[in-house]
Amino acid sequence: MGTSLALAIACFLTIGVMTGCGSDSSGAACDPNYEGACLDPNAADYDCAGGSGNGPEYTGRVTVVGSDPYGLDADGDGIGCE
């Protein structure tokens, strides 16, 4: 299987729509460091929904696949907001 096909399949399985890797169903750009939710890469900060953070943006559980610029994976196991 070619690399681009494998990437397209991985993006489809992660996002659930074929809009291209790193975007949500509206085509908006998503932070490439996270999977499972489309986090705005231009947001000042994200915190875990229901946690003690003060936002301004909130998210639920995500998989960290790169760096963790928003500090959502407190224990470093690759899962944020668990």
User: pLDDT tens for residues 27-75?
Assistant: 569 999 999 999 999 999 999 999 889 999 999 999 999 999 999 999 9
- Structure letter (DSSP) for residue 58: E
Q: SS3 for 5?
A: helix
Residue with the two structure tokens 């681009």: 4
Q: Tell me the pTM.
A: 0.66
Q: Is 6 helix (H, G, I), strand (E, B) or coil?
A: helix
pLDDT at 7 over 50: no
